[in-house]
Amino acid sequence: MNVNAVLGLARAEIRAFRPYSSARMETSAVGVMLNANEMPWPNHGDTSDMNRYPEPQPSALRTRMARLYGVEPEQLLIGRGSDEAIDLLVRAFCRAGSEAILICPPTFGMYAVCAAVQGAKIVEVALDERFGLVPEQMLAACNTDVKLIFICSPNNPTGNCIPLLQIERLAAALLGRAVLVVDEAYIEFAAAPSAVSLIAKYPNVVVLRTLSKAWGLAGARIGALLAHAEIVALLRKIMPPYPVPTLSAAVALGALQDRKGMSRRIGRIRRERERLSAALIEITGVRRVLPSVANFVAVCFADAEAALKQLQAAGIAVRSLRHYPGLADALRITIGTPEQNTAVLAVLNTDDRQQRAMS
Ligand SMILES: *Cc1c(COP(=O)(O)O)cnc(C)c1O
């Protein structure tokens, strides 16, 4: 099956239209640039060429990220976080009012938000009681209107990975029918194999990666979509002309030099994740700690609202999962520094002692 069958799933008008062609797309840097209505002088103290529009896809960063993830540069699209890639996919593949995405709740909220903004429908196939996929139900729910299937692995907010073999079987079953989007925002914390390896064989597989989590660059807003070059080219047509700010690209390129530092920090997060999980389950008010391979844990409480208030009162923000199906009694706690995690435990333990004293 070749990639044309996948492009055929996209909105016909998007495939057909001629995109805006920016000055920087038509001509890359030459000696005298008088084609983009820029100011010829930089501001005082500017050493970063900020008077110039950035490269639409900064080539040095693209090459480096492509090498990091194991694809060709043309198979990688840099966006403002992987959030932008989710939005582009929904807009390119789902016709408003009739076509749909398929999601498996409880999962990351942006898939449904982007679908709602586009006016696409949302088909839901819940995860099972252990938060695994139910592939037979997913395939049964995939009517011809479903264009995109979102799988989040490790899943936010549950923290578990989806086995690669299961993803591959879905990709094979969906070939020619729908695009399988695998969101790997947290995969670096998991020591699990990436679905990137499936792209060559299954042109309907799209993988999302980000520098926001493991690389510690949430403020830079750099994410990547990995797919066949033709899919990347299609999405570029509907992307704004200069999506990646010069400074963000430079900061990302710098941070990517320090792979050792990144690995060290991931090691620390993993150790803290295990320590926090083991300590949390000992607390009386804690019913369950979901086994996580990410940099957060979902924790079920006898009284989640009380635990949330207790932490809030101590100046600690965690995420309530009250609106997630099957997790109404849970909080999602991001793994912090050892001191921060110890503070979480101290607050919840104090609450625990008080409750026991009262009863
Ligand atoms: C954080 C997150 C993202 C978005 O990350 P960006 O900062 O937009 O790159 C994507 N998917 C999931 C599951 C996330 O939790």
End-to-end CA gap in the chain:
65
**pLDDT score recorded for residue 24:** 78
Q: Best of 127, 189, 212 to mutate for ligand 1, by most ligand atoms within 8 A of CB?
A: 212
Query: Are 322 and 304 spatial neighbours (Cβ–Cβ below 8 Å)?
Result: yes
**pLDDT score recorded for residue 358:** 67
Checking 8-13 for CB contacts under 8 A at 24+ apart, the result is 9/93, 9/147, 9/177, 9/178, 9/179, 9/204, 10/92, 10/93, 10/147, 10/234, 11/92, 11/93, 11/94, 11/95
Query: Are 162 and 132 spatial neighbours (Cβ–Cβ below 8 Å)?
Result: yes
For tokens 């086994």, name the residue. 291
Residue 289: which of 305, 279, 276, 277 has the closest Cα? 277
**pLDDT score recorded for residue 27:** 75
For ligand 1, the distance from its centroid to the CA atom of residue 221, given in whole angstroms, is 10
**pLDDT score recorded for residue 263:** 97
Query: Are 55 and 28 spatial neighbours (Cβ–Cβ below 8 Å)?
Result: yes
Q: Give, using CA atoms, the residue closest to atom 12 of ligand 1.
A: 185
Q: What is the pLDDT along the chain (359 residues), one digit of tens a residue?
A: 689 999 999 999 999 988 888 887 777 767 889 999 999 999 999 999 999 999 999 999 999 999 999 999 999 999 999 999 999 999 999 999 999 999 999 999 999 999 999 999 999 999 999 999 999 999 999 999 999 999 999 999 999 999 999 999 999 999 999 999 999 999 999 989 999 999 999 999 999 999 999 999 999 999 999 999 999 999 999 999 999 999 999 999 999 999 999 999 999 999 999 999 999 999 999 999 999 999 999 999 999 999 999 999 999 999 999 999 999 999 999 999 999 999 999 999 986 666 666 66
Query: Are 331 and 302 spatial neighbours (Cβ–Cβ below 8 Å)?
Result: no
> In the numeric block, which tokens belong to residue 305?
């609202």
**pLDDT score recorded for residue 208:** 98
Q: Of all atoms in ligand 1, which is nearest to the CA of residue 155?
A: 13
Residue 155 Cβ < 6 Å to ligand 1 = no
Q: Best of 104, 108, 155 to mutate for ligand 1, by most ligand atoms within 8 A of CB?
A: 108
Q: Of all atoms in ligand 1, which is nearest to the CA of residue 213?
A: 1
- Angle CA 295–301–307, to nearest 5: 85
77 backbone dihedrals φ, ψ, rounded to 5°? -115, 120
